[in-house]
A and B are shown apart, each in its own frame.
Chain A
Amino acid sequence: MGKPSVWSSNRFWRRSATWVTGVSAVLLILLTFDSMSQMQMGTAQDIKNKVDKRIPSPLVINYKIDYQLNRKRGHEVPIIGGMDANGNSKYEEKEKFFGRDNYSEKEARELIHLGKLTIQAKNCMDCHTLLGNGAYYAPDLTKAWLDPNWKTLAPAYGGKEYAMATFLQNPPAMAMHERKMPNLGITKQEAKAVVAYLKFMSAIDTNGFPRNFGKIKGAVDAWK
């Protein structure tokens, strides 16, 4: 019989497996708690104190939202209410949303919530992608609010949000591509809520996702 080797010893592999499983489990638990803290929605107080949160307060629908290249982070980041000299959000420049820029936190939250329920009820993810989940049969909606096509349609409808809401209520009538979106029977109030959700979603810091969105001509000023 040859010299016994550690590599063929059950004890060595058992101890190693126990160690790797244990360390990985602890790491995953700690990472879960870290993710949970990052998934917390911001509050009105954060906007008042100009604190950047990955998921901002629903109040962002009262503000102008932009998407600019942040040289330090190496990708585009949402800029809420104007950009200061350091490339951070100023939370100052307001933008009318369906004629108002004074939605209370409760109103904004309820509107966004209805938008989310509508998006789930109509199964938008069957064709679209939202925050990395869904399909690529139709355009990615994560930053749809900033899509330059809406900017060109805005004047005819009295604003980007009105153009988007009109489209949602009867998409075939305003078809922009060969691959047409069907009429899903979205009501006027639901359409407004979905647009609020899209505006809110465009203000979520997604670490530059979707990639290359900022390179779409006219989308943002970042890649001029």
Chain B
Amino acid sequence: MCIEPCTDVVCSFWSILNQGPMTLTITLHTLIVLPMIWIYFDEKKKMAQGDIPEE
């Protein structure tokens, strides 16, 4: 089985996230790192278009 069964006392969304380091890493990367990559390319595009106001 590729997905580990939930082994917590009370199974919930959070206990599944805490099954091991991999699930937590994937979740945090999906929530935090991937959007940051999107922010990076968005800023890059704006810079190229000269949309950035002077600070």
Chain B interface main SS type? helix
| Beta-carbon contacts under 8 Å, B1-38 to A | 5, 7-10, 12, 14, 31-32, 35-36
B9 pairs with A52, CB closer than 8 A? yes
Total count of chain B residues near the partner, CB < 8 A: 18
Contacts of A30 in B (CB 8 A): 14
Give bound CA distance, A163 to B11, whole Å. Answer: 38
Selecting from A16-24, A94-102, A138-146, the interface stretch reads A16-24
B43 pairs with A205, CB closer than 8 A? no
Chain A interface main SS type? helix
Binding site for B on A (CB under 8 A): 4, 6, 9-12, 15-16, 19-20, 23-24, 27, 30-31, 34, 37-38, 52-54, 72-74, 205
B40 pairs with A31, CB closer than 8 A? no
Give bound CA distance, A20 to B31, whole Å. Answer: 9
Contacts of A20 in B (CB 8 A): 32, 36
Give bound CA distance, A31 to B55, whole Å. Answer: 38
CB distance from B32 to the nearest CB of A (A): 6
Give bound CA distance, A31 to B10, whole Å. Answer: 14
